[in-house]
Chains A and B, each alone.
Chain A
Amino acid sequence: MDLHFLDAVPEDSEREAVDTVLGPPESGWDGGTRQASDLRFAEGGHTARGRRDLLLPALHAVNDRVGWISPAALDYICRRLTIPPAEAYGVATFYAMFSLNERPRRVVHVCTDIACAAKGSQQLCAQLTERAGPAGAEGGEFTWHESPCLGLCERAPAAVSFEAGDPPRYSVAAPAAADEIVPAPGEVPAQESAGAGSPNGHGPALNGGRPRRRTFSPETLPGPAPEPPASAAVPQAGDPDLLLLRRIGVVDPASLDDYRANGGYLALREALRMGQSAVIREVTDSGLVGRGGAAFPTGRKWDGTAKRPETPRYVICNADESEPGTFKDRVIMEGDPFSVIESLTIAGYANNAAKGYIYIRGEYPRALSLLENAIELAHARNLLGRDILGSGFDFDIEIRRGAGAYICGEETAIFNSIEGLRGEPRSKPPFPVERGVFGKPTAINNVETLVNVLPIMQMGGPAYAAIGTGRSTGPKLFCVSGSVQRPGVYEVPFGASLRELIEMCGGTGTGPDGAPRVPRAVLLGGAAGGFVRGDELDIPLTFEGARDAGATLGSGVVLVLDDTVDLAAILVRIAAFFRDESCGQCVPCRVGTVRQEEALVRLSQGAGPRRTDIALLREVGEAMRDASICGLGQTAWNAVESAIDRLGVFGPQEEQPVKEVR
C-alpha cells in the first residue's frame, strides 16, 4: 500500500500524545525520522496495518491533549499506523466529540434531550448564548454544544465539560447553572499547562507492561459543585434485598478490598469451580435475557459463541449507554465498577475468550476513571491477567472509549468502532457469535445483563429464574426520570406495574402551583421505545406485558411527562436526535430521519396539511422499520408513531388496523 501523506509537521504535544498510545516509532517506516539504516529493510504489509484498532485511542489522545485534531496530527497517526489519511479522516469526522478544526480547549456539552428539555435546558442554552455566543461559536475561551442525552437524567438539566491538557480534566454539572459552567475569565489556559500526568490510560500494554495512567485528571474542573456519589441516583441504596444495586452506596467504588468484603469475587470463584459449560448452563437455566433493549437470551448467545471452533474469541461489555433517558449502566459503573469487571471475567471464562473489551461512551468520564482504577487493582491481585486465581484461565480487559456516537451502541457498530473503522453497523447475518470483532466469535452483552450473572452464579440459575414472571426472569433496573418526586435507578423484580414503579418514586407530586401533577404520558424504552398514556399505568413491566400492550421495555427507560410539557416539541427533539445519530449508511434511515424531522416540524408549528403529513410520516416510518440495516433506523419511528396513535398528539386518529408484532 503506497500511502500519500500531507507534508505537515505535527506539534511536539501532538506527537507525544500519539506516542503515549502507540509507543515511540521504531523507524522511518512507522512515522519516525528516516535514517539511512531504514533503507536496508522494508516494513509494511499486514503487520504494519495490524494496529488499525489503535486509531480511535490515538485520535482520543490528540483530542484530549490539544482539544482538536489538526491535519498534521492526523497525518502523523496515519504514518504510525499505516492508515490511508482519507480513511482516518472518515473515522475522525464520524464522531461528534472530535473536531478537525481548531477550537478552544474547553468544550461544554449541554444536554438538550428529552429529560433535560423537560427540566429547562432551553433556558440554560439561552443563558449560554447570551454569555458566549451561539452553540458552536469558537471565538471565546470555551465553546459549547447542544448534546444528546448525557445519561444524567435524574439530575437534569445536565452539562459535561472537558478541557484538553496533560492530563485532560472534566467536570459534570447536574443540575447545571450557567454560572457554574462558564469558566471565569482567564481560567482556561491558552497554552497547555505543564502537568505530570499523561493522557489515555486505555489502549494496549506498552512494552509488555500495563499502562498505569488514567485518562482524566482526578481533579475536576473548578465551577460546578462536586458530583454526588452514584448512590444519590439510587433511592433504594442500602436495601440488603437488592441483587444488582446491593453494593451501591455501601462500598467505596475505588476499593477492591471493600468490594471483596461485600461479596465481591465470590461469583468468579464459584464460576471457576463449576467449569465453563456449567456456567453457561446456569445462565441458560436462569432465563436471563439481554437488558440493552433486544432481550436476546444470554445463555443462547454464550452457548453459540463458546461452541464456535474459531479462536481467539472475544467478549465485549457494551457500556455505550446512549439511549435517551437511560443511565442505569452509568450508575452501576460509578457505584460498583468491580462488579462489571468480575462479570465480564466470568463471561470471558464461559466463552473461553482470550480478551474482553469494555466499550464505554465518551460522555462518561467518571465511570471511565473508576473502571480504569478497577482494572488496575484487579490486575494487581491476579483477578485479571495470567492464570487467574490459580485456575489456569488467562484473561485481560481493555477499555475502549467512544467519542459521541449513539450508533456505536449497536453491537456490530461497536466491532467496527473498536477495529478503527467508522462506527457503521454491519449487516447480519453473519451474527456476532459467528463473526464479531476482528472477524472472530464474540459475545457482546450490556452492562446490566452482565451484572446479572453474579447473582446467577451465587444462587444458581433455577433460583434466579424464580424471581420475576414467566419469561421475564430476575430483577430489572428502571431509569425513572422526568416528573417524579424521586428520579433515579430502581431495581424491581419483573412483574411490578408501571403505576407501582411510579409510586416507588414518590409519584408525580405537585406542580409549582401546588396542584397535583398529572402524568400525561410515559416514554417507555427511550427514543427507540414508545409512549404510553397517563391512564395506562397498569401495564405490567415485563417483556410480555409491555409487548401485549404494544409497548417495549427497551433499555428500561421510564420518562414521565406531565401535562406542562410540549409533546410536539419533544417529538421534534426525538426526530432531530435520530437525524443526528443515523450513521448514514442506508437510505431509509439516512434520508427517512430527515423527512421525519421536516414533517414533525411542520406539524408542531401547525403548518402544512396535517393529514397528509401524518400519512407521510407513516409511510416513511414503515419503510425505515422494514428496510433499514440496523435497529436505529428500524426503531426511529416508534416513539413518533406511538405519540400520534396513542397520545393523539396531533389530534385523534382514525382506527389503525392492528398490526402484527414484528
Chain B
Amino acid sequence: MSTPVAIGAPRRLVEVTVDGQEVRVPEGATILDACEAVGTDVPTLCYGDTLTPRNACRVCVVEVEGARTLVPACSRKVEESMSVATDSERVRHSRKMVLELLGSSVDLSTTPGVPEWNERYDARPERFGPRAEPAPLGERDARHAGEHEVGDGTVAATVEQPTKVDNDLYVRDYGKCIMCYKCVDACGEQWQNTFAIGIAGRGFDARVSTEHDVALPDSACVYCGNCIEVCPTGALSFRTEYEMRNEGTWDEERQSQTTTICTYCGVGCNVTLHVQDNEIVKVTSPHDNPVTHGNLCIKGRFGFQHVQQRRRD
C-alpha cells in the first residue's frame, strides 16, 4: 500500500520584469527571488534565508513601477506584470545612503560584502565627519526613549561601545550591531522560543537587550548560539573567534570547513566545523539542512572542546 505524499497545491507562475528582463516565478515569491532567478545581485543585510524578512536595513530596496516609494526586495511579493528596476538612480542612491549611514554609525569591519558594495555604490561613510567616542559600557542601555543630548555636530554619533563578555561561550559586540532583528527572531518565536533577548529603547538608541540589560547567565539564554548563526555582521561571535581576533591569530584563509553529524543525540543535526591549525575554532550548521535549518543546541554548537585541548597549556 502506498502512502500519499503531500506535494502542496501547484503554484501559479507570475510574470515579472526585472531590469527589462522578463521572468516567471511562482506566485508568492519575493522580488528578491525574481532577481535571483535572472541572476541579478541584490545586496542584503537583514535578510535571513531561514527567517521571515524584517526589511529593516533597506539595502535591498528596488524601484517598482508605479510605487511612490522604493520597496524592499526581500519581503515584497511579486505581482503579475510587476516591473522592477534594481539599478536605477533612485535605487543606487538609497543603497549608497544606507551603506553610508550604517558605515558611519556601526563598526562594519567584520561584515562580509560591505567593502565591495561600498565600491559599487560609491559609498563614503567617512563624509559624515569623525566618529564620536565609543560610549562606556552600559551607557547606551540606560538611555531613555524620546530624549537625547543634542551634540555640537562636530562628530558623527555611533553605536560603538565595548564588547559585552559575560560568559565563556560567546560575546556580544553591539558596536557592530546593525539592528537587523535576526538574533531576536531566531531566539524568539521563529526558532528557539527562548526569548532571552528583545529590542529595547527607541530610535537611534534602540538596542538588542536582555530584560534590564542583565548579563546572559542571568537571562533566559540557553546558549544554543542560533543568534550567532544568523548574525550578519559578527556582532555576535564565538568566544574563541573573539579571542583569536584580539590576539591577531584569526585567519579565515587558513580555515577549513567540514560538515559532519553531531554525535550528542539522535536528531542528527549537521554541524560544520571550522578548523584552523587543527583546532576547531567555530561551529556553524548548514541552513539548507531540512532537519535543523541551521539551528543547533548548546552541545552541537559549543561542545567541541573535548576533541581538542586548546588552552590546556
Contacts and interface: CB of A to CB of B under 8 A. Distances in A.
Nearest to A582: B203
A588 interface: yes
A77 to B, nearest CB: 11
B154 to A, nearest CB: 7
Given A6-B211, A71-B212, A627-B61, A93 B200 contact: yes
Contacts of A592: 97, 101
A622 B95 CA distance: 11
B210 interface: yes
B299 interface: no
A96 B202 CA distance: 9
Interface residues of A, number: 70
Interface string B19-38: 00000000000000000000
A101 B150 CA distance: 22
Contact of A580 (B147, B156, B200, B211): B147
Interface in B92-115: 93-94, 97-98, 101-102, 104-105
Contacts of A616: 127-128
Interface-central residue, A84, A580, A586, A625, by most chain B CB under 10 Å: A84
A597 B149 CA distance: 11
B85 interface: no
B129 interface: yes
A465 B312 CA distance: 84
A587 B98 contact: yes
A634 interface: yes
Interface in B63-119: 68-70, 72, 75, 77, 90, 93-94, 97-98, 101-102, 104-105
A581 B146 contact: yes
Contact of B69 (A146, A148, A405, A662): A662
Interface in B45-66: 55-59, 61
A234 to B, nearest CB: 30
Nearest to A91: B198
A594 interface: yes
A148 B147 CA distance: 10
Given A74-B211, A595-B156, A601-B150, A619 B93 contact: yes
A605 B152 contact: yes
Interface string A83-110: 0111111100111100111000000000
Interface stretch (B10-18, B189-197, B225-233, B236-244): B189-197
B145 interface: yes
A534 B69 CA distance: 31
A574 interface: no
Contacts of B142: 101
Contacts of A586: 55-58
Interface residues of B, number: 62
Contacts of B219: 4, 86
Nearest to A86: B198
Given A427-B72, A620-B97, A626-B90, A598 B153 contact: yes
Contacts of B206: 583-585, 590
B128 A595 contact: yes
A572 interface: yes
A628 B69 CA distance: 8
A169 interface: no
Contact of A100 (B56, B104, B212, B220): B212
Interface-central residue, B198, B203, B204, by most chain A CB under 10 Å: B203
A629 interface: yes
B296 interface: no
A626 B93 contact: yes
A429 B78 CA distance: 12
A509 B249 CA distance: 74
A364 B106 CA distance: 38
B78 to A, nearest CB: 12
19 contacts: A4-B196, A86-B219, A86-B220, A89-B211, A93-B145, A94-B145, A94-B201, A95-B146, A96-B146, A99-B144, A148-B146, A427-B75, A582-B204, A587-B58, A587-B101, A588-B58, A597-B150, A620-B97, A626-B70
